[in-house]
Amino acid sequence: MPPTGGQGGSTAVMDGYHLAWRLAYALAGVAGPGLVASYDAERRPYADALAEQQYANMVQRRAPHLRDDTVAEIMDPAVVLFGYVSPSGAFVREPGEERPLFEDPASPSGRPGTRAPHVRLSREGVPVSVRDLFGTGFTVLAGAEGGIWEKAAAEAARSLRVPIETYVVGGAPELGDPDGRFPAAYGITSTGAVLVRPDGIIAWRSPGEAGLAELEGALRTVLA
């Protein structure tokens, strides 16, 4: 990868971040070999696209005479860093969807296989990012009327022996959504929920109310 833009080292760090939880879950016996194998399917297309961007930046800055139809168009760095859409991997794809390799992170889709977008929340009166809620396990983020997901997540955690933290966003003063952006950013209604992996990638979502079977089924798909 050309050093233009300095993304080689940070890509390696992110690769480790996305791989570590997979190895931990597999070694703990709660995930199958497919979870580790999914790492390559998710990360290789990103690394290839980033290498193309780095080469295009090098051509633009130092060797414009090399530009031809094989050189990629340069994208907004924010899109490259935060807008990647995994073609396949450890998440539940939604039927009939088109999956561009990148999307605008300023207008997130909330679809599985994308980085869980930042939304400003209020936790006991203190401003926080929704991403501050993510820990080392899975996270369920439910809409303001999605209290049913707390029980469903607890049952799934016991059944599959994986840690799951559940938050109802905007449904109580303890965790408010002052700008009202959370449902739209994640593509759900007030009764829906999303499942976020330990690496901050959305694994599955239910736009409206569902139940234990759907959530547990999504987890089994991710951990297969």
How many CA atoms does the CB half-sphere of 110 hold within 13 Å?
A: 19
Q: Kindly tell me if the per-residue pLDDT of 6 is higher than 70.
A: no
More confident residue, 137 or 59: 137
Where is mean pLDDT largest: 49-58, 132-141, 206-215? 132-141
- What pLDDT is recorded for position 1? 55
Question: What's the CA gap between 100 and 16, in Å, rounded?
Answer: 24
Structural domain of residue 141, as residue ranges? 120-223
Mean pLDDT of 180-205: 97
Q: Rounded distance, CA 185 to CA 105, Å?
A: 10
My answer on whether 215 and 132 are in the same domain is yes
Per-residue pLDDT of 87-117, as tens digits, reads 999 999 998 888 999 999 999 999 999 999 9
For residues 217 and 124, membership in a common domain is answered with yes
End-to-end CA distance of the chain: 32
Are 137 and 212 in the same domain? yes
Do 15 and 65 lie in one domain? The reply is: yes
Give which of 121, 127, 125, 118 is closest to 179, Cα–Cα.
121
pLDDT of res. 8:
66
Assess if residue 75 is contained within a domain: yes
pLDDT at 73: 85
Return the pLDDT at 98. 85
* Confidence at residue 190, expressed as pLDDT on a 0 to 100 scale: 95
In a domain, 104, yes or no: no
Tell me if 90 is assigned to some domain.
no
Across the chain, mean pLDDT equals 91
Whether 142 maps to a domain, the answer reads yes
What CATH number does residue 142 fall under?
Answer: 3.40.30.120
Domain end marker among 82, 104, 138 = 82
What is d(CA 54, CA 189) in angstroms, rounded to the nearest whole number? 39
Of 213 and 167, the one with more pLDDT: 167
107 within a domain of the structure (yes/no): no
Q: Pick the more confident residue, 8 or 140.
A: 140
51 in a structural domain? yes
Domain count, the chain: 2
CA dihedral 129, 131, 137, 140 (to 10 degrees): 80
Report whether pLDDT(128) > 80: yes
Asked if residue 211 and residue 140 are part of one domain, the reply reads yes
Residue 141 lies in a domain: yes
Same domain, yes or no: 126 and 205: yes
Residues 34 and 128 in one domain: no
Q: pLDDT of 28-84, one tens digit each?
A: 999 999 999 999 999 999 999 988 888 887 787 777 777 777 777 888 989 999 999
